[in-house]
Structure 1
């Protein structure tokens, strides 16, 4: 209630003042509804339909409560006639929020209603011969009453938005969990419907620190889902991907591939695996999983890779450890440079003759296996995959 207005509960009007007002309440209610429909566009269509008669009865009841309040004999009872009216106004605010009408529209309706109700009630009072002082006093009471009701409606509107907002956040989190867990399509579709979330064509999983995610998400499609450090971004495949990576610049982020929205777990799994690659730079930056596909394929089964390395290096097990390491290093460089001795020597900072000597040793221990395509493929995978 505004500090500039009186407490409507502290005033009394005589029955002679109130009687003509009660008789004309239906007319006042009709005029009030008509004015709101004209002056507040958000209410024109709802009031013109089935809601109109209900609102008219509610306005009539609210004004009737006001007249009862200001004309009753004084009694110190704790539950005054104002309490039900405030409860109704609070419920109205919650209902308007559920129906998607803004607080501005609701307050505009109250302002119009107060103006029209006062104009009509004042005209009735003047017609009944009430003195100017009584009419002025009555004006204060009308606006104080409307101020009380509007404050209750504002509280109801805010509480409903907060409550529905929290509920929707929970539903969106449940949807994100279902997507990342790879739940069946019917489960995910039901979660999307409950969250009032419109599915995009594709989703892209992005891993980014949670504090940064809260900042980045405001720049993305409003359907972007967030769960901790995971963002699921709609429709950023093709040329849109560059824009996404640009928005992430300056963050420590890993962007998975775009996938049909029901298969976004694939994008999340790839982003997670990429984030665990030992070859990623230590400095923060944006990592595009598309730049690491070969490494992801070759390191898909770390134990199998370790076993393969042990197998292809077994012929060197008889050599001293230091010598075996130099021979393995030379063999790896020889495979990388396809046998070009000078390039091997330049990479290892040794003389080309040293390369020739070591390769002679390697041919002695490997024999014809260095000319076997299958063995050569195994050697390339085992010795040139990052982490060797």
Structure 2
């Protein structure tokens, strides 16, 4: 329904053009509309291809301009009943639809608003000349101009609203499609399913994806720095215990190699865990690595955690039960000793192996005297014998015994 409180409707209520002048102006609408389209084509480069040439939108746009000007003349002539079909309703709706169309076409409002400005200038010049030729008094001409420009302002505002609404709607739709694509990637969906999901999401597959887990409150700021192609998946992430800390997953395209250093700099100051770069269709592997790193990297520091720094811990923790069995077997010779003595000797043994028998370094790490290290190693050699020189057994000892300060030790 026509908004009788609008600037155009209020202006028209105190201004009416006589029937003879309206008839003359109506006869000139086709010419004014054509001149308007020509001016927009010449002065607004974004519309040169759309409004001119074979198969262009020119005729349709010209008809729309003519309809809009016709609605204005009806309003100026006093047609202001409550019927939404006359005269302001259809033109406002058309302007709103035009704004939505610009958003769907991937264009900003800059070009359309420029077209409105050019159109208002040309339409005013042509209509004013026609009105003057038809005998519109000079004293009324200013009011006529005021009404026309108020009308153009309302059309512009309607287009802006349509553009914003379309962006909001299409943005939400794309967001849902991209979330769904992320879910497919985490589920390890077939390649054809992933390609179809990427097409629906208007997302061009990159060479690689890198998983980043971080708290939801920090995800928005990170997204702003990582680019629009980054996928986001939130809530109920598979295989991840979020009881103590909820996480959002970001899948960041093409940050392998030197790009990884840039990614870690972008994430500085955030509690993020970063997986490895993987081919985009294998992003699930990057996510799983990051998820397994989370319990190893629980820390109060605000620096991102690179899962590459935890590869040894991840390997050793892949089968905790097997490692526990191996530990029990290699420590079996210590079973005859008190528990406290067992712990001291096991700690000394792994330090000795890792420091390749350098007694002073072992003593410094354990905060004991070098003679104490010598004494303990004497005990261990008595218990293990030649096995301490067997490479296979030494490897089992290093795998089974946690190093000093190791996570989970």
Task: Provide TM-score, normalisation by structure 2.
Answer: 0.85
Tell me the equivalent position of 1:23. Answer: 27
Tell me the equivalent position of 1:7. Answer: 10
Question: In 1, Cα distance between the equivalents of 2:373 and 2:41?
Answer: 92
Question: In 2, Cα distance between the equivalents of 1:304 and 1:258?
Answer: 29
SS in 2 for 1:176: helix
SS in 2 for 1:207: strand
The question of 1:348 aligning with 2:366 is answered: yes
Within-5 A mapping of 1:160-199: 160-199=166-205
- Aligned positions, number: 387
The question of 1:61 aligning with 2:67 is answered: yes
Is the Cα contact below 8 Å between 1:21 and 1:125 reproduced in 2? yes
The question of 1:236 aligning with 2:255 is answered: yes
Tell me the equivalent position of 1:92. Answer: 98
* Deviation, structure 1 residue 231: 2.2
* Deviation, structure 1 residue 141: 2.4
* Deviation, structure 1 residue 359: 3.8
Change (3 A) 1:369 1:125: same
Question: In 2, Cα distance between the equivalents of 1:177 and 1:82?
Answer: 47
Change (3 A) 1:282 1:136: closer
SS in 2 for 1:205: strand
SS in 2 for 1:212: helix
Q: Give 1:336's match in structure 2, choosing from 354, 360, 365.
A: 354
Is the Cα contact below 8 Å between 1:7 and 1:144 reproduced in 2? no
Is the Cα contact below 8 Å between 2:21 and 2:135 reproduced in 1? no
User: Which stretch shifts more, 2-11 or 240-249?
Assistant: 2-11
Deviation per residue, 1:71-108 (Å, 9 max, x gap): 25664556642112211111111112111222121111
User: Which stretch shifts more, 178-187 or 368-377?
Assistant: 368-377
Change (3 A) 1:149 1:73: closer
- Root-mean-square deviation (CA, aligned residues, Å) is 2.6
Tell me the equivalent position of 1:254. Answer: 273
Is the Cα contact below 8 Å between 1:199 and 1:261 reproduced in 2? yes
Question: In 1, Cα distance between the equivalents of 2:166 and 2:281?
Answer: 32
Listed as ranges, the gaps of 5+ residues in structure 1 are none
User: Which stretch shifts more, 116-125 or 320-329?
Assistant: 320-329
The question of 1:296 aligning with 2:314 is answered: yes
Change (3 A) 1:345 1:110: closer
* Deviation, structure 1 residue 56: 1.0
SS in 2 for 1:7: helix
Task: Provide TM-score, normalisation by structure 1.
Answer: 0.90
User: Which stretch shifts more, 29-38 or 69-78?
Assistant: 69-78
* Deviation, structure 1 residue 147: 2.1
The question of 1:47 aligning with 2:47 is answered: no
Change (3 A) 1:3 1:360: same
Listed as ranges, the gaps of 5+ residues in structure 2 are 235-247
Within-5 A mapping of 1:302-341: 302-341=320-359
